[in-house]
A and B are shown apart, each in its own frame.
Chain A
Amino acid sequence: MYVAVKGGEAAIANAHRLLADRRRGDRNLPSITIDQVVEQLGLAVDRVMAEASLYDRALAALAVRQARGDMIEAIFILRAYRTTLPRFGYSEPVDTASMKVERRVSATYKDLPGGQLLGPTFDYTHRLLDPSLIADETVEEPAVKEPGEHVMRVSDILDGEGLIEGDGQMPEGHVMGDLTREPMEFPMARDLRLQALARGDEGFLLALAYSTQRGYGRTHPFVGEVRIGEVEVELDLPELGFAVSLGTVRVTECQMVNQFMGSAKQPPQFTRGYGLVFGQSERKAMSMSLVDRALRTDEFSEDIVAPAQDQEFVISHADNVQATGFVEHLKLPHYVDFQAELDLVRRMRRDYEAANSGETPKEQREAAE
């Protein structure tokens, strides 16, 4: 018998009141401001923007603060917010070649136009806890030097020799897809896969990328280059008949160069994986490029032997908002479902005991689930 149960309202209201209290913490300490989160926890803000798939640093910082630093909760809040806004249109594709580069490193060429620009990196730090940050000591101004030449794309260098496949082209007549407008379908074209990966969970993509390195769908990668910096976002204004700049966004781009493929028709050349992510996040951009390459099995007639090559597996599980929704729903009341299962197992137990005590077993019934 099903009995409707009510009575959670007061408890829920008080739980949320308690949450607000715990979020604020010790009232003797100053409250952190949104600007402080943007300025001093910038990479947390970047991750929230990337995986919420919404570029707005102030709103992402607000989400981080509201979620008490729980990144997936913050991503969920920001993703939900974006559904409240109308869509004005699609930007012109950003031009990463003319990026205002803040960091660019290549693992394939030592000396290349533009050079190795380390930028504000954690690389080469000793990963030792720094007690000077507790005392909040004064921080030095950055060093400056005369800027050098244009930071050339590594893929253009290799392309000049014809030793690398070109930037990705979709088949003739392909219409660009949009995950936010159409339901997912498999097999999924590369443009849609890249959209899904760009907002995919960093940890999940990192683990998959790592699995390819450990032999589960090996792609023999080199980092052609990783670059971080600001790119212009332009929107076409039909009223005026030309595109105007809306400002700049910071993105991280990774060009992964992978082992060569060749056929009777095509000479051997390097293949590529591509990563592009909102904000400063080279771990995510690198992981994305490795997974992008691993997923291109159909283009290179590769056998699907590992999880990272299975697009339905990868894309269906990359979104942490969907994943957390389904996993966490398990803690919501399942009283009725569980009562039904309990009833079933009791009956099966009775039959089992009857059978073992030598009596004729009753009709066995299979568990529904």
Chain B
Amino acid sequence: MMDAKLKQESPPDPARKNAMGLLARATLGELDAAWEALADKPEVHPVRGPETGLVMVRGRIGGAGDPFNLGEATVSRATIRLSTGEIGHGQLLGTDKERARLAAIFDALSQRDGNRAEVEALLGRVAERLSKEERRKAEETAATRVDFFTMVRGDD
């Protein structure tokens, strides 16, 4: 458990970890549009996949105790290599292999100085959409919070 905590607190490459998390949530439309907008598209060679498989999702006993297997989830993943040498990995929940392939391409592009701006723009759009959706949900939930008030009983 200590190991897992330490790993989570200090990933070797927090920027890339964050970017991959956003790419996993990018819609096919967002990824497609960003790919189409690229001025000069590098050649992309498949290394692995795209393929769909399963990941066993684990929970923790009591919420924070030892792990147990909760059940599986579908995951699609791809690994690609750009003609300029960068390797990219894409992995996300669901069966959409094209999204996984495009996520891998943008993971590779994020390692190239020449494409940093385009990748940042895509990540910015995804992050903004997610934060809006999250904000909206949190506000809707907050509106269902119970505000208790106490009836005064008169004897005090």
Q: Is the CB of B66 within 8 A of A272?
A: no
- CB contacts (< 8 Å) of B94 on chain A: these are 56, 58, 247
Number of A residues near B (Cβ < 8 Å) is: 83
Q: Residue A304 at the B interface, CB < 8 A?
A: no
Q: Is the interface of B mostly helix, strand, loop or mixed?
A: mixed
Q: Is the CB of A82 within 8 A of B54?
A: yes
Q: Is the interface of A mostly helix, strand, loop or mixed?
A: mixed
Q: Is the CB of B139 within 8 A of A93?
A: no
Determine how close the nearest CB of chain A comes to the CB of B127; give it in whole angstroms.
13
- CB contacts (< 8 Å) of A247 on chain B: these are 24-25, 92-94
Interface segment among B13-21, B32-40, B113-121: the answer is B13-21
How long is the Cα–Cα vector from A91 to B93 in the complex, in angstroms? 12
Chain B interface residue number, banded: 35 or more
Q: Residue A358 at the B interface, CB < 8 A?
A: no
Q: Residue A246 at the B interface, CB < 8 A?
A: yes
How long is the Cα–Cα vector from A110 to B148 in the complex, in angstroms? 8
- CB contacts (< 8 Å) of B8 on chain A: these are 92, 243
- CB contacts (< 8 Å) of B87 on chain A: these are 239
Q: Residue A333 at the B interface, CB < 8 A?
A: no
- CB contacts (< 8 Å) of B17 on chain A: these are 242-245
Chain B CB within 10 Å — which of A55, A100, A195, A249 has the most?
A55
Q: Is the CB of A115 within 8 A of B60?
A: no
Q: Residue A71 at the B interface, CB < 8 A?
A: no
Q: Is the CB of A89 within 8 A of B55?
A: yes
How long is the Cα–Cα vector from A38 to B51 in the complex, in angstroms? 24
Q: Is the CB of B58 within 8 A of A94?
A: yes
- CB contacts (< 8 Å) of B7 on chain A: these are 242-243
Q: Is the CB of A170 within 8 A of B59?
A: no
Q: Is the CB of A240 within 8 A of B61?
A: no
Contact of B68 among A50, A145, A148, A195 (CB under 8 A): A195
Determine how close the nearest CB of chain B comes to the CB of A116; give it in whole angstroms.
4
Q: Is the CB of A246 within 8 A of B91?
A: yes
By Cβ-Cβ distance, the 8 closest A-B pairs, closest first, are A167-B62, A168-B61, A167-B65, A245-B21, A191-B68, A144-B139, A55-B73, A168-B65
